[in-house]
């Protein structure tokens, strides 16, 4: 081979190596990774993890979720000015009015879940939540007097008092005051994740203060979730998600205040007007985040004796309830999903009726 031909061949070889290196570099840049974003919404820290190789998509999706949840928080807030506050003012008049489109779907669904839970989920009792001091960012005592609680219970506000005809709404009970705190976050998470899917996101997890919805998986492994211990410290168990699932936990360690040595938590039993007793926490896995949110609260109130019946009515088959003795009550389907960390608690597997 002549020197000229040898030089030409060498140049071609160097060019090929350069192109190959560029291809490998571009391939490395396009490798999927987890993109994380954090912000505050619904009064809690929200973390969004998106697994994708498309950085622009991850950035746009994060901004979209942030805007979605901030809008929903403003629209559905129970004690700040907004559509929900205005709806409560109009319900108190007893006169028919045109429902705000940002709250009407929630109220309709809340009525369905109120009936399915035998009234244990009753967001019409906003006045009771306010009386206990839980319609503030930092609740504090003292607890209300028994006669104040009794006055609200005697008025018996419920979701059944709200009449809806198309977009027209009215209340037959002036004591109805909506507080969708046990539902709005789940509904918001569900809707925000639907928006992400519409944008083309296939693998993500949206976690708001430990309540979450996950879709897909980060590569060849599932999303792995920690369930807080009943005392609110450390991790009790872990759960690996499967496809599209929501995992919600209600615990007596989440929002509470201390008064004269006694702790009063925010999960109120609408039958007694008092914080529900007998349960430390309830964790639910379900395919709908809004329904998982409601179920975790309703089953907490139902307590160790009645939760299987209410779970069956709500169509939830993956439940873990930790009672005041620290015993873990699990459905058969949940037993297969939970992996306890450290020394496991006493376990009782309870089939649904």
Res 92 pLDDT > 60: yes
% of the chain with per-residue pLDDT over 70: 92
Q: CB-based contacts of 247: which residues, under 8 Å, 6+ apart? A: 211, 212, 213, 214, 225, 227, 239, 241, 283, 284, 285, 292
What is the distance between the alpha carbons of residues 183 and 95, in angstroms, rounded to a whole number? 26
% of the chain with per-residue pLDDT over 90: 82
pLDDT bracket for residue 181 (50, 70, 90): confident
What is the distance between the alpha carbons of residues 6 and 14, in angstroms, rounded to a whole number? 12
Instruction: Starting at the earlier edge strand, list the strands of the sheet with 224-228.
Output: 224-228, 235-240, 338-340
What is the distance between the alpha carbons of residues 176 and 167, in angstroms, rounded to a whole number? 18
What is the pLDDT averaged over residues 288-296? 97
Res 23 pLDDT > 60: no
pLDDT at 233: 81
What is the pLDDT averaged over residues 192-197? 96
To the nearest 5 percent, what fractions of the chain are helix, strand and coil? 40, 25, 35
Higher pLDDT, 190 or 29: 190
What is the pLDDT averaged over residues 174-193? 94
Q: What is the pLDDT of residues 197-227, one digit of tens each?
A: 999 999 999 999 989 999 999 999 999 999 9
What is the distance between the alpha carbons of residues 96 and 227, in angstroms, rounded to a whole number? 44
What is the distance between the alpha carbons of residues 61 and 81, in angstroms, rounded to a whole number? 28
pLDDT at 15: 54
Res 5 pLDDT > 60: no
Tokens of 193: 């994740």
How many C-beta atoms lie closer than 10 Å to residue 187's C-beta? 22
Q: What value, to the nearest 5°, has the Cα angle with vertex 148 and ends 142 and 152? A: 125
Instruction: Please state the pTM of the whole predicted model.
Output: 0.90
Domains of the chain as residue ranges with CATH: 33-75+201-349 (3.10.520.10), 78-171 (1.10.3980.10)
Q: CB-based contacts of 329: which residues, under 8 Å, 6+ apart? A: 304, 307, 319, 320, 321, 322, 323, 348, 350
pLDDT bracket for residue 43 (50, 70, 90): confident
Q: Share the mean pLDDT of the chain.
A: 91
Please state which of the ranges 134-143, 159-168, 285-294 shows the lowest mean pLDDT: 134-143
Write down the H helix ranges in 166-266: 184-199
Res 25 pLDDT > 80: no
């Amino acid at each position: 081979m002549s020197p000229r031909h040898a030089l030409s061949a060498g140049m071609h070889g160097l060019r090929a190596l350069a192109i190959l290196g560029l291809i490998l570099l571009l391939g490395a840049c396009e490798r999927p990774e987890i993109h994380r974003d954090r912000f505050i919404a619904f009064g809690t820290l929200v973390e969004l993890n998106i697994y994708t190789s498309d950085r622009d998509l991850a950035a746009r999706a994060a901004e979209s979720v942030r805007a979605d949840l901030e809008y929903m928080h403003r629209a559905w807030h129970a004690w700040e000015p907004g559509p929900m506050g205005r709806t409560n003012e109009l319900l108190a008049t007893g006169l028919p009015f045109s429902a705000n489109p940002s709250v009407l779907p929630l109220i309709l669904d809340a009525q369905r879940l109120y009936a399915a839970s035998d009234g244990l989920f009753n967001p019409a009792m906003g006045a009771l939540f306010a009386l206990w001091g839980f319609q503030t960012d930092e609740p504090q005592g003292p607890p209300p007097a028994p006669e104040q609680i009794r006055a609200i219970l005697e008025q018996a506000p419920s979701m059944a008092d709200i009449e809806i005809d198309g977009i027209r709404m009215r209340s037959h009970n002036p004591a109805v005051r909506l507080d969708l705190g046990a539902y709005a976050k789940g509904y918001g998470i569900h809707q925000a994740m639907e928006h992400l899917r519409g944008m083309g996101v296939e693998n993500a997890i949206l976690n708001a203060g430990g309540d979450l919805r996950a879709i897909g998986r980060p590569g060849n492994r599932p999303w792995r979730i920690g369930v807080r211990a009943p005392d609110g410290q450390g991790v009790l168990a872990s759960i690996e998600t499967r496809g599209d699932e929501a995992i919600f936990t209600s615990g007596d360690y989440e929002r509470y205040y201390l008064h004269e040595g006694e702790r009063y938590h925010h999960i109120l039993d609408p039958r007694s007007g008092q914080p529900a007793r007998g349960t430390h926490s309830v964790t639910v896995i379900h395919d709908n985040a809004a329904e998982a949110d409601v179920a975790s609260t309703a089953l907490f109130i139902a307590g160790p004796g009645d939760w299987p019946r209410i779970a069956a009515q709500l169509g939830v088959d993956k439940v873990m309830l930790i009672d005041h003795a620290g015993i873990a009550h699990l459905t058969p389907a949940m037993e297969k999903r939970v992996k306890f960390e450290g020394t496991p608690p006493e376990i009782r597997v309870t089939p649904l009726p």
